[in-house]
Amino acid sequence: MANPELVRPGVALRDDELRRIAERLGREPSVVELHAFDAQWSEHCSYKSSRHHLKRLPSEGADVVLGPGQDAGILHLGEHAGERYGVVVAHESHNHPSQVVPYEGAATGVGGIVRDVLCMGAEVIAVADALRFGKVDDPGSHARYVARSAVDGIGAYANAIGVPNLAGDVYFDAGFDDNCLVNVIALGIVKESEAIASYAPPGAGGWDLVLVGKSTDPSGFGGASFSSVPLDAGDEAANKGAVQVPDPFLKNVLMRASYRVFNLLHERGIAAAFKDLGAGGIMGCSAELAASGGYGADLNLDDVNVAVDGMAPEVIAVGEAQERLLWALPPEATADVLRIYNEEYSLPEIAHNARATVVGRLTAEKRYVLRYRGAVVMDVAVEFLTGSIRDELPYVEVIRHEPEGAELPAVDVERAFPRILAHPDVCSREPLYRHYDWVVRGTTAIARDAADAGMLVPVPGSPLAVTLSIAGNPRLGRIDARYAAERAVLDAVRRTVAVGARPIGLTDCLNFGNPRKAEQYGELVAAIDGLDRAARELGLAFVSGNVSLYNESSAGVAVPASAIVACVGALDDVSQAIVPGLKSAGSALLWIGSRELAVGGSVLADVLGIDGPLPSISYDAERAAIGIVAGAIAAGTLLSCRVVAEGGMLTALARLAFDARRAGRALGAELDFGNPLCEAGGFLCEVRDAPVVDVSGTLKVGTTIAEPRLIVNGTNFDVGQLYDVWSKPLAEIYP
Contact 426, 98 (CB under 8 A): no
Nearer to another protein, 95 or 544 (CB): 95
User: Nearest distance from residue 128's CB to another protein, in Å?
Assistant: 15
User: Nearest distance from residue 443's CB to another protein, in Å?
Assistant: 7
User: Nearest distance from residue 239's CB to another protein, in Å?
Assistant: 10
User: Which residues are paired to 495 by β-bridges?
Assistant: none
Query: Crossing angle of helices 413-421/648-662, nearest 10°?
Result: 60
Site map for another protein, 7-46, x if CB under 8 A?
Answer: ----------------------------------------
Give ∠ CA 664-670-671 in degrees, rounded to 5.
Answer: 125
- Which listed residue (132, 148, 324, 661) binds another protein by CB under 8 A? 148
Task: Give the closest residue to 109 by CA, choosing from 125, 90, 137.
Answer: 90
Contact 551, 175 (CB under 8 A): no
Task: Give the closest residue to 550 by CA, choosing from 37, 169, 48, 172.
Answer: 48
Site map for another protein, 291-330, x if CB under 8 A?
Answer: ----------------x-----------------------
Beta carbons within 8 Å of 371's beta carbon, 6+ residues apart: 298, 299, 300, 301, 302, 377
Give ∠ CA 192-195-197 in degrees, rounded to 5.
Answer: 140
Q: Is 53 a catalytic residue?
A: no
Residue 264 contacts another protein per CB under 8 A? no
Neighbours of 620 (CB within 10 A): 9
Nearer to another protein, 449 or 491 (CB): 449
* Total binding residues toward another protein, as defined by CB under 8 A: 68
Beta carbons within 8 Å of 5's beta carbon, 6+ residues apart: none
Terminal Cα-to-Cα distance of the chain (whole angstroms)? 56
Residue 266 contacts another protein per CB under 8 A? no
Contact 642, 609 (CB under 8 A): no
* Ranges within 58-117 binding another protein (CB under 8 A): 101, 104
User: Nearest distance from residue 730's CB to another protein, in Å?
Assistant: 14
Nearer to another protein, 4 or 735 (CB): 735
Report the number of secondary-structure helices (H) and strands (E) in the chain.
Answer: 24, 26
Q: Of these residues, 44, 53, 76, 423, which one is catalytic?
A: 44
Q: Which DSSP letter does residue 178 get?
A: S
Q: Which DSSP letter does residue 101 get?
A: S
User: Nearest distance from residue 220's CB to another protein, in Å?
Assistant: 9
- Which listed residue (7, 22, 663, 666) binds another protein by CB under 8 A? 663
C-alpha to C-alpha distances, 551 to 106, 128, 134, 556, 560, nearest whole angstrom: 16, 21, 13, 9, 9
Q: Of these residues, 76, 91, 94, 423, which one is catalytic?
A: 94
Site map for another protein, 471-490, x if CB under 8 A?
Answer: --------------------
- Which listed residue (110, 170, 253, 632) binds another protein by CB under 8 A? 253
Nearer to another protein, 432 or 471 (CB): 432
Nearer to another protein, 84 or 240 (CB): 240
User: Nearest distance from residue 170's CB to another protein, in Å?
Assistant: 16
Residue 182 contacts another protein per CB under 8 A? no
Residue 218 CB burial class (10 angstroms; 0-12, 13-18, ≥19): middle
User: Nearest distance from residue 332's CB to another protein, in Å?
Assistant: 23
Biggest CA-to-CA distance, the chain = 84
User: Nearest distance from residue 241's CB to another protein, in Å?
Assistant: 6
- Which listed residue (44, 53, 132, 144) binds another protein by CB under 8 A? 144
Nearer to another protein, 530 or 580 (CB): 580
- Please report, to the nearest 10 degrees, the dihedral formed by the alpha carbons of residues 411, 413, 415, 419 taken in order: 100
What is the spatial distance between Cα 707 and Cα 718, in angstroms, rounded to a whole number? 9
Nearer to another protein, 30 or 227 (CB): 227
Quote the radius of gyration of the chain (alpha carbons, Å).
Answer: 26
- Which listed residue (240, 429, 478, 502) binds another protein by CB under 8 A? 240
Nearer to another protein, 121 or 648 (CB): 121
Residue 735 contacts another protein per CB under 8 A? yes
Residue 215 contacts another protein per CB under 8 A? yes
Strand 367-372's sheet: what is its strand order?
A: 273-276, 324-329, 208-213, 355-363, 296-300, 367-372, 375-381
What is the spatial distance between Cα 499 and Cα 492, in angstroms, rounded to a whole number? 12
Task: Give the closest residue to 411 by CA, choosing from 670, 618, 679.
Answer: 679
What is the spatial distance between Cα 669 and Cα 690, in angstroms, rounded to a whole number? 18
- Which listed residue (169, 247, 491, 670) binds another protein by CB under 8 A? 247
Neighbours of 8 (CB within 10 A): 12
Helices of type H across 473-610? 474-479, 481-498, 518-538, 603-608
Residue 140 contacts another protein per CB under 8 A? yes
Contact 610, 406 (CB under 8 A): yes
Nearer to another protein, 139 or 202 (CB): 139
User: Nearest distance from residue 466's CB to another protein, in Å?
Assistant: 12
* Ranges within 565-584 binding another protein (CB under 8 A): 573-575, 577, 579-581
How much helix, strand and coil, in percent to the nearest 5, is found in the chain? Answer: 35, 25, 40
Nearer to another protein, 133 or 199 (CB): 133
User: Nearest distance from residue 313's CB to another protein, in Å?
Assistant: 20
* Ranges within 667-706 binding another protein (CB under 8 A): none
Nearer to another protein, 230 or 248 (CB): 248
* Ranges within 414-473 binding another protein (CB under 8 A): 433-446, 457, 460-463, 465
User: Nearest distance from residue 420's CB to another protein, in Å?
Assistant: 26
Kindly list the catalytic residues.
44, 94
Binding site for another protein (CB under 8 A): 101, 104, 139-140, 144-145, 148-149, 155-156, 159-162, 215, 217, 219, 237, 240-241, 243, 245, 247, 249-250, 252-253, 256, 307, 343-346, 349-353, 433-446, 457, 460-463, 465, 573-575, 577, 579-581, 663-664, 735
